[in-house]
């Protein structure tokens, strides 16, 4: 039985390389490719692939995690296999929580990509040993409890927004933003915005 695969990556050369690798495998057929998350979701709705190979960074528009979330919400959802250069815990956990059926780094051998596709198509979760261990480690850690508003403040801070800009976007005073940041620092056990962003990112909060 042939497994139908769709590719989502914002680099045409990467898509071409993946297509060449996959088409050498007799049990896989590439049924489409897209350069953005939005286009990928619409194409998947039309061609209904068994598996989607998706990058995390897709240029403008929605990223790979949001793309995964939308793909998994389709009436006939494909299995989504993340193929990326990013290996931070935040991306890994975010992808799994969004519904990804696997996570691979782009420096893996072609055989690993084929194995991931086959596992995902069979309904399994494909995480190479080290990545699986990291997922378990993060899941076992006590998760810091931030309020929804604190997450909103920290998410904006992670974009580089100053307190004044965060206050404007959330329709609150600058003093309120400072108060939220102070509470966030205390909950995360940090003393700076950069460390708060890093800790929250590793915990999958932002």
Last residue of a domain, one of 140, 158, 192: 140
Domain hosting residue 15, numbered range: 3-140
Assess whether 93 and 171 both reside in one domain. no
Residue 136's pLDDT is: 60
Assess whether 13 and 100 both reside in one domain. yes
Assess whether 42 and 72 both reside in one domain. yes
Residue 142's pLDDT is: 62
What whole-number distance in Å separates Cα of residue 169 and Cα of residue 98?
26
Alpha helices in 24-88 (DSSP H): 37-47, 64-72
Q: What total of structural domains would you count in the chain?
A: 2
Residue 156's pLDDT is: 94
DSSP conformation class of 156: H
Q: Which pair of tokens denotes residue 14?
A: 């990467």
Place of tokens 């695969």: 5
Read off the CATH number of the domain in which 162 is found. 1.10.10.10
Residue 138's pLDDT is: 59
What whole-number distance in Å separates Cα of residue 2 and Cα of residue 28?
5
Assess whether 129 and 174 both reside in one domain. no
Assess whether 126 and 155 both reside in one domain. no
Assess whether 89 and 110 both reside in one domain. yes
Q: What tens-digit pLDDT sequence spans the chain (206 residues)?
A: 799 999 999 999 999 999 999 998 889 999 999 999 999 999 999 999 999 999 998 988 889 989 999 999 999 999 999 998 887 777 887 888 888 998 998 888 999 999 999 999 999 888 876 776 666 665 556 667 889 999 999 999 999 999 999 999 999 999 999 999 999 988 887 788 888 888 888 777 88
- Taking CA atoms, 125 is separated from 9, 33, 80, 146, 181, in Å, by 21, 23, 10, 29, 37
What whole-number distance in Å separates Cα of residue 63 and Cα of residue 59?
8
Read off the CATH number of the domain in which 104 is found. 3.40.50.2300
What whole-number distance in Å separates Cα of residue 201 and Cα of residue 185?
14
């Amino acid at each position: 039985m042939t497994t139908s695969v769709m590719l989502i990556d914002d680099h045409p050369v990467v898509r071409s390389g993946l297509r060449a690798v996959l088409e050498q495998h007799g049990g896989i057929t590439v049924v489409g490719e897209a350069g953005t998350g939005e286009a990928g979701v619409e194409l998947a709705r039309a061609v209904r692939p068994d598996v989607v190979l998706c990058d995390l960074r897709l240029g403008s528009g929605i990223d790979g995690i949001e793309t995964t979330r939308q793909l998994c919400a389709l009436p006939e959802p494909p299995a989504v296999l993340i193929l990326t250069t990013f290996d931070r815990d935040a991306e890994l956990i975010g992808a799994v929580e969004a519904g990804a059926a696997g996570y691979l780094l782009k420096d893996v051998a072609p055989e690993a990509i084929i194995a991931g596709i086959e596992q995902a198509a069979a309904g399994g979760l494909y995480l190479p040993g080290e990545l699986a261990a990291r997922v378990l480690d993060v899941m076992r850690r006590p998760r810091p409890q931030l309020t929804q508003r604190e997450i909103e403040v920290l998410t904006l801070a992670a974009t580089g927004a100053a307190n004044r800009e965060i206050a404007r976007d959330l329709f609150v005073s600058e003093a309120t933003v400072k108060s939220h940041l102070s509470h966030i620092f205390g909950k995360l056990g940090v003393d700076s915005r950069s460390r708060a962003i890093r800790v929250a990112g590793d915990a999958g909060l932002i």
